Structures are given as C-alpha cells and as structure tokens.
Amino acid sequence: MKIRNFVLGALGLAAAAAAVTLVPMQHATAQGGNSDPAQTWDAFGGNQQAQKYSTATQITPDNVKGLKMAWEFHTGDVSSGAHSTTWGATPLFANNTVYTGTPKYNIFAVEPDTGKMKWKYSANGNNGDENQGLKNRGVAYWAAANPTAGACQKMVYIGTMTGELHGVDADSGKPCAGFGKNGVVDVNAWATKNSKWKIGLIQPPAVYKDTLILGWAGNDWVYKTENPGTVYGIDARTGALKWTFNIIPDDMMDQTGTANVWAGISVDPETGLAFLPTSSPSPNYYGGDRLKEMPYATATVAVNAETGEVKWARQLVHHDIWDVDINSAPTLVDIKKDGQVIPALIQANKMGLMVVLNRNTGEPVWPIVERAYPASDIAGEVASKTQPFVPYPEPLVAEHMPPVSKLADILSFGECSRWKARIRDEGRYTPPSVRGSISWPATLGGVEWGGGALDPTTNTYVVNSNLVPQIYTLVPRADADKKYGNALRARDGYAAQQGSAYGFKLENFLNMWGMPCWAPPYGIMSSYDMNSGKLLWRKPVGQVQKWGFYMPESWGSITIGAPAITKSGLVFIGASMDSRVRAIDVKTGNILWKHIVDAPAVAQPAVYTYKGKQYVAFAAGGNGILTPRLSDQLVAFALPN
C-alpha cells in the first residue's frame, strides 16, 4: 500500500489528468436518465468498459455487516433434468428499472426498490431446439442519444439459444416493430456456413452508440467443422446487419469452425474500439486438421465498433488444443506508469495469465515472452513449440499443478497417485494424449467468463480464478466409434469431434468418493495494483459444499461469476459452490459479510443507487458445473432504513 501510495503521490499530475479522462468514461455509461447517472449498471460488465465498478459509497466496510435482503423476485424460469437451466445473468439497472433475462428467454422489468414486476416479455425461445441447454446471461440496454417521439427510444435486448435477438421497448416491454421483423432479428439466418446447430445467443450484445456488437455460443467439441465464429454489428434501432467480422480465415472454413466470441465484449467509448475475446477453433482438442495459423483465434481482437474493421489482434494461445478460450470481456484501465497514462486493457484468461495490453495498439504493457512448451505425441498433431507467457503481473496459476492431495489419496487407497503416475503431466500446455494428459489449467480456468473488476480511481483490480486440473484423453476414431457409435456426447465426458481422427474424453481429477485429487485451494481471489502490476493480496474465496457439508474456507471454491467493486472499498461476489454471496474488504481481502442465496450466483452482481439508497443485486441461478442446485431467484440487498 505504501508503495502504491508513493507511486500515486509521485504521479499526482498524471493522476489528475487521468481523473479528467475517467469522468467521461464513467458517465458514458449513463443512458437511462437517472438522477444519479454514475450509479447505474446498464451493461453486463457494469459499464461497457467491463470494469464492474460503482461509485456508490453508502455501503462501506464499516456498515456492510448490517446489509439485509431488501427484496427478492422469483422469475419461475428454472428447471432441472435433461433441459436444466443455467442462469448467469447480471441484472441491469437503467431507466429507473431493474432488467433481467432468464434461461427460458423472458425479460423481466422490476421495480428497483421493491422487486415488484413492471412487465414481462416472452421471447418464446424455449422450443426444445437449444444446442446447449437453457442458458442466459441477461439482457442488453440501449438508449437513443437523441430520442424522438414514440416508443423504442430505449430498448432492451435478449438473445435465445435458437439464434433470435429480440428487441423490446424498455418502458412497456412491447416488441419494437421497427427492430427486425416485429421485434425479432433472426441472427441464425446469417450463420449458414457449416451450420450444424442454431447459434446460441447466451451473452447479451455490447452496445456502442447505435450499434450492437454480438457474438454467440456454439459447440466446438462435437464436429470438426462448425459455424465459423462470425461477430455481427447490428443497428440497435432497426436490427439491420451493419458489418460482420470473420475470425476464421476464408480458406480454413472447411477445416474448422467456431473460434467464436461467446463471452462479453468491452468497448472504449472514446475511441470506438470494441475488444473481442475469441475462443478456440473446432474441434477443441485435436488440431491436426487445422494446422495453419489463425491469428484471430484464441485472441483479443480490437475492431472498430461501427465498421468491424480490425485495428489490432493479439493471439494469447497459439494453436489451441486445450479449449482455453479467451473467455471474458477485457477490463479497460488507464494505467499510470512512468509518468504516463497508458490506455490499457486487462485480459486475465483461462491460462491464469494477467495479460495487459495497450488498448490502442495491442502492444503489451508488461512483456509477453514466448516460452517453450512440450510437443504432442499424437500423429498428425503439431502443438505450438512456444506459447505466450506473462511473468508479470504475477500469474494467477502456477506452471505445474499442486501435489496430489494426501487425504484424497489415502481415502481412495492410492487411486489419485496411481492415476497421476500413468498420465502425461508436463505442466502448463501439456498436449492432450491417448493415455491421458493433465491439463493445467484446464478449460475450467484460470479465470472464468466474468473476468475481474476494477476501481478506476485507484486502479485496484480484483479477479477470482480457479485452480483445477482436468484429464484430457484423445480416443482414436475407430475406438470411439466402436464404444460410442454415432453419439455426439456421453455422460462420461466423451465428445465426438466427428470428422476428425480423434474423439475426446474430459475427466475431472476426482477419486472414487468424488474428492479432488489435488491439494487445495481450488479457487482464489487476487488483487493487483494495476499501476505497478504488483500483487496486493491473494486469498481463497468461497467454500466447497458437498452433501451440505462445508469444507474449510482455506480450500476456497471453484467459482463461476465475477466480482463487482465499489468506490467505498468493497468487493461483492457470489460465484462459489456454497450458494453464498460475500462482501470483501478490497484492502485486505477479508470477508466482511456473507449471506446464503438460493443457488450459486454465477454472474457478477449489479450495484446501483435508486432514490438515495444503494442496492446490490444478484441473480442466484446456479450452474450445473458447480452444483445441481438451481434457482430463479433475483435478490437485492441494502442497508436498513
């Protein structure tokens, strides 16, 4: 802290200059006409810069213990079983209303202080044609800069897993007739190349001026060729297609697919650049048919938000054969370093690396080095000889997985150590193999799709991340076909990768009792000073809960979801297996408050102020990866009057 204060003090002039630039950044989020525009939450990432930051100061580290549930609202949109719901929505607060989308593709508008429903819109997306179950991460909000008379000058958008984007009037919930066809844009109609599924519009679009920037989710582990991961620029008023950006080169589209943008997108409101986190090409785990370089895949790509033209691209994983998609919207930050203000972005990723780039040029703020990694032993596969590595800021994940858990090993009569001894483990980027390879970190992160949160006044960045090895096994085609026939997926973790030489099996490294075979912690939260890059603190976050029993806090929990940060020095986060939401002291990492909600809150909370009162709202939807516990609870907390 002393060092940080010294740096900040020494760079007072730069800080003052930065403050000038920060004001428009915060106010750029205000499109709802609220009395306190800086305390809205009108985008998935809190603002379009994905900072997940609120200027609200009513709830402080001193009084947060008094936080109580202000209201809860049950959408009714929850189901388990074959078509279970996965609800990772961040509620939006704009236009004096809380908006949320649900995994059964309804939009709910509720009163921000009571939780009473204002209106409901049904997108009727639940027609059984979903390709990944029933999933939703909420809605997007747009308001016309120069509104005209009539409806639909403020709109709310929801996507469906059947590839439809619906646009409704934010005041009434009625479909906007001028948007697409009676309020519906059939995005799926644009995605015809190698189409195997209807594309899934899980993630709400990013908004820049009058343009919606839309990615989508697909299946990149089922077929060799899939829909290529095109990103769409759409007119926010009319739904007309303004531009497309193809991540897969034209000459590779018959060899592969996806590399899509399924996570959030951030936008710099000053430069109009949109930052796209792109995923791995299909099939995820065997790249022998897609050896040619695809520089936009598994990368952060900056495009002009209004034209789709590429400004720069930085590939963060070469020839991805681990499914370590770049999976969260980069968080924008103005770094004060060496007497300068550097417009930057933070792309913490699944590999547990803290990539920090100049957002105007794509050049690294702290060096990215090419580090040698092991070769593949699979015929036809050529793993990249080197991968980008960021030694500083300190990585979130070490080069090698933790040792085998003695407790899990003893209780399983040595199962864990025997298993580990017979599979390939050469640390980070060990290629998948027929005998099985430890993937560390694996597809479960590192950092999951929520990303981190930034206080732009102090440039303190907090991020939760997972410490989870998984076992990647390639299954030769003949063996796969013999065992699984034409099945595309199986309960034992099998994915077909049809059309390629290998099927694939993903296993969790658990013993016969379901205990993790590696030493804890399983999930951590880290705090960085982004001016210096220094790690401020790192602590386990959340608790594992199995059969109701809570494991020690020192073990942490796998988390899916992200934090929100407030000017008053608090971090709010759900995300953990134990269905608790927490308030954490940003200075120390100590937990100051926690509360049980109906299911894990697998998205970042929204922090907003309405009629002078600060609220923290969570969608407690759950995610089957964490626990079977699912819910439809939207819940807000506030201090008592």
Q: Are the beta carbons of 273 and 311 closer than 8 angstroms?
A: yes
168: phi then psi, degrees, rounded to nearest 5:
-130, 160
Part in contact with other proteins (CB under 8 A); list of ranges 390-398, 406-414, 542-550, 567-575? 542-550
Q: Are the beta carbons of 185 and 167 closer than 8 angstroms?
A: yes
What is d(CA 572, CA 464) in angstroms, rounded to the nearest whole number?
11
Q: Are the beta carbons of 133 and 86 closer than 8 angstroms?
A: yes
Q: Smallest gap, in angstroms, from Cβ of residue 576 to other proteins?
A: 11
Q: Smallest gap, in angstroms, from Cβ of residue 547 to other proteins?
A: 4
Binds other proteins (CB under 8 A): choice among 9, 150, 339, 548: 548
DSSP for residue 269: T
Q: Which amino acid type is present at position 382?
A: V
Part in contact with other proteins (CB under 8 A); list of ranges 343-351, 444-452, 549-557, 607-615? 549-557
For residues 39 and 631, which CB has a smaller minimum distance to other proteins in the complex? Answer: 631
Binds other proteins (CB under 8 A): choice among 190, 366, 550, 555: 550
Q: Which amino acid type is present at position 596?
A: I
Q: Smallest gap, in angstroms, from Cβ of residue 581 to other proteins?
A: 11
For residues 78 and 368, which CB has a smaller minimum distance to other proteins in the complex? Answer: 78
Binds other proteins (CB under 8 A): choice among 549, 612, 640, 641: 549
What is d(CA 88, CA 601) in angstroms, rounded to the nearest whole number?
7
Q: Are the beta carbons of 77 and 641 closer than 8 angstroms?
A: no
Q: Which amino acid type is present at position 150?
A: G
> Strand pairing of 564-566 and 570-573?
antiparallel
Part in contact with other proteins (CB under 8 A); list of ranges 212-220, 343-351, 364-372, 541-549? 541-549
Nearest to 115 by CA among 168, 155, 75: 75
Binds other proteins (CB under 8 A): choice among 9, 150, 547, 641: 547
55: phi then psi, degrees, rounded to nearest 5:
-80, 0
For residues 16 and 547, which CB has a smaller minimum distance to other proteins in the complex? Answer: 547
Part in contact with other proteins (CB under 8 A); list of ranges 195-203, 248-256, 360-368, 547-555? 547-555
DSSP for residue 19: H
DSSP for residue 198: P
What is d(CA 152, CA 164) in angstroms, rounded to the nearest whole number?
18
What is d(CA 316, CA 561) in angstroms, rounded to the nearest whole number?
22
For residues 77 and 334, which CB has a smaller minimum distance to other proteins in the complex? Answer: 77
The 487-526 site mask, x for binding other proteins (CB under 8 A), equals ----------------------------------------
For residues 137 and 580, which CB has a smaller minimum distance to other proteins in the complex? Answer: 580
Binds other proteins (CB under 8 A): choice among 282, 545, 609, 614: 545
Task: Tokens 């603190």: give the residue.
Answer: 537
Q: Smallest gap, in angstroms, from Cβ of residue 616 to other proteins?
A: 17
What is d(CA 236, CA 165) in angstroms, rounded to the nearest whole number?
11
Q: Smallest gap, in angstroms, from Cβ of residue 77 to other proteins?
A: 16
Q: Smallest gap, in angstroms, from Cβ of residue 628 to other proteins?
A: 9
Q: Are the beta carbons of 374 and 491 closer than 8 angstroms?
A: no
- List Cα–Cα distances, 332 to 117, 254, 345, in angstroms: 34, 35, 4
Q: Which two tokens stand for residue 277?
A: 């986190």
Binds other proteins (CB under 8 A): choice among 49, 384, 437, 631: 631
The 260-289 site mask, x for binding other proteins (CB under 8 A), equals ------------------------------
Rg, the chain, Cα only: 23
What is d(CA 277, CA 45) in angstroms, rounded to the nearest whole number?
14
For residues 24 and 628, which CB has a smaller minimum distance to other proteins in the complex? Answer: 628
Q: Smallest gap, in angstroms, from Cβ of residue 543 to other proteins?
A: 9
According to the binding rule CB under 8 A, does residue 632 interact with other proteins? no
Element (H, E) at 476: strand 470-476
For residues 570 and 635, which CB has a smaller minimum distance to other proteins in the complex? Answer: 635
Q: Name which of residues 206 to 245 contact other proteins (CB under 8 A).
A: none
Angle at which helices 2-10 and 12-27 cross, to 10°: 90
> Strand pairing of 564-566 and 53-54?
parallel
For residues 548 and 612, which CB has a smaller minimum distance to other proteins in the complex? Answer: 548
Part in contact with other proteins (CB under 8 A); list of ranges 151-159, 380-388, 543-551, 604-612? 543-551
Q: Smallest gap, in angstroms, from Cβ of residue 598 to other proteins?
A: 4
For residues 390 and 636, which CB has a smaller minimum distance to other proteins in the complex? Answer: 636
Part in contact with other proteins (CB under 8 A); list of ranges 20-28, 121-129, 573-581, 609-617? 573-581
Q: Name which of residues 575 to 614 contact other proteins (CB under 8 A).
A: 578-580, 596, 598
What is d(CA 575, CA 561) in angstroms, rounded to the nearest whole number?
5
How many residues sit close enough to other proteins to count as binding (CB under 8 A)? 14
Bridge partner residues of 206 (DSSP): 213
Q: Which residues contact 265 (CB under 8 A, 6 or more apart)?
A: 205, 206, 213, 215, 274, 275, 276, 277, 329
For residues 39 and 545, which CB has a smaller minimum distance to other proteins in the complex? Answer: 545
Q: Smallest gap, in angstroms, from Cβ of residue 165 to other proteins?
A: 33
Q: Smallest gap, in angstroms, from Cβ of residue 629 to other proteins?
A: 7
Q: Smallest gap, in angstroms, from Cβ of residue 81 to other proteins?
A: 14
- What residues make contact with other proteins under the rule CB under 8 A? 545, 547-551, 578-580, 596, 598, 629, 631, 633
